[in-house]
Structure 1
Amino acid sequence: MLAPAIPQRSACHRPLPRDIPGRHSSFFPRLFMLKNAFLTLLALAIAIGGGGGSVWYALKTQGGIGAIRIGPWTAFPDIGTRAADPYSKARVAREGILALGQAEGLSFIAERDSGGEQLKRQCAYEIEGGFPAARFWTLYAADQSLGVVKAGKPRLAALQSHQVLRQPDNSVVISVSNRPTPGNWLLSGGFGRMYFVLTFYDTPIASSTGLSDITLPQILKVGCNA
């Protein structure tokens, strides 16, 4: 009587992964390490991105650390002093601002009108009201780089205190538009965002005590081109 044949294992047969001794014991620790590494990288990315975003916002917006707001106008009294915070110093370096010391003067920047709407080059405005005591002040319309707006006309988009006409109460009314207007006219033109930069030289308001009780002119929107 013949013995039953014993099945032969194919040469191409390989043990399945579950047949490999110790596979589970090494796989799960690796998976755990990869998960921890991924979570660490994700946390770093969020921290760096969030920190960079907050710095960008602090530098981009006119408000922020060390800012003084008076109506639509914003100033950084410490920007030219040793007391300037790191964000103010970074703003000076990034935008190339000429920082004035407290004994020299103070600059105010407006990016919105008195109604809270963003200033636009295609709109006309009136800047009206009293100006604080100063030996000299300048006002100009600026683009996003805070350079003087280039309106494509020979007239500069700027005014200074020695050339403006004053009202009987010593207040000033300035018309801002791309078309000449009677009285004090500040040229503007083009499209996009606009800023007003108002700088006082040799003025008592440059000290912190001088800022507590001053008023600055309003910025009123007259209309916009379609």
Structure 2
Amino acid sequence: MLKNAFLMLISLAIAIGGGGASVWYALKIQDGVGAIRIGQWTAFPDIGTPAADPYSKARVAREGVLALGRAEGLSFVAEKDAAGDQLKRECTYRIEGGFPTARFWTLYAADQSLGVVETGKSRLAALQSYEVLRQPDNSVIISVGHHPMPGNWLLTDGSGRMYFVLTLYDTPIASSTGLSDVSLPRIVKAGCDA
């Protein structure tokens, strides 16, 4: 009798622990249920709509973010560079290429909780579409790193993992038909501090 009760408790612990761990993993990864991937960037287009899957709704509830509806915009998150390496604050990057059509966009360096990276300076680790310098072909080159750089510069500081969050506001690509031919800027590692 005691043996059966002990085995039942072990089975329940494994089931509850395994179930909780699998849900935590599904909510933590960027390539979760309902995600679309364009280059290094990942988005959840249904996250702010009634059609959102249960995992997307749980992600919004857990992170406490204000999800954008389809008519409002779309947020993309990048956690790796073009070579497939994790983004790190101690490295220097170049974000280059064209941005999709949008009334306004923002780009910022984020920490693990997807909040803006603390720089310890008065300058935020963020840029927006109205302040960037553009190339003759309307593309943008943004340098990311600790040290000031000419042109568009996104300040980062510290060490550890980093993410880039690109939010497009009032964009036609938020509709399901617009995602097929979208190209987003590439993230290229320029070097790392030793």
Task: With the length of structure 2 as denominator, give the TM-score of the two structures.
Answer: 0.97
Q: Secondary structure at the residue paired with 1:141? A: strand
Which residue does the alignment assign to 2:54?
Answer: 86
Name 1:140's counterpart in structure 2. Answer: 108
> Any stretches of 5+ residues in structure 2 without a counterpart?
none
Residues of 1 paired with 2:64 and 2:165: CA distance?
A: 14
Match of 1:98 among 66, 84, 94: 66
Q: Map residues 66-85 of structure 1 onto 2, 5 A cutoff.
A: 66-85=34-53
Q: Which residue of 2 aligns with 1:47?
A: 15
Q: SS at the partner of 2:7?
A: helix
Superposition RMSD on alpha carbons, in Å?
0.9
Aligned partner of 1:154 in structure 2 is 122
Partner of 2:191: 223
Q: How much does 1:34 deviate? A: 2.2
Partners of 2:93 and 2:11 in 1: CA distance: 47
In the TM superposition, residue 151 of structure 1 has moved relative to its aligned partner by: 0.9
In the alignment of these two chains, the number of paired residues is: 194
Q: Give the letter for the 2:145 counterpart.
A: S
**Runs of 4+, deviation exceeding 6 Å:** none
Higher relative helix content: 1
Gaps in structure 1 of 5+ consecutive residues? 1-32
Task: State the shift of 1:120 in Å.
Answer: 0.7
Query: Residue 192 of structure 1 is aligned with which of 160, 166, 169?
Result: 160
- Post-superposition CA distance 1:124-172 (Å, at most 9, x none): 1000111100000000001111111111111111101111111121111
Identity of aligned residues (%): 79
Paired letter, 1:225:
D
Of structures 1 and 2, the one with the larger relative CO (CA 8 A, separation 6+) is 2
Structure 1-normalised TM-score? Answer: 0.84
Provide the residue aligned with 2:170 in structure 1.
202
**Bigger Rg, structure 1 or 2:** 1
Is the counterpart of residue 60 in structure 1 residue 23 in structure 2?
A: no
Q: One-letter code of the match for 1:218?
A: R
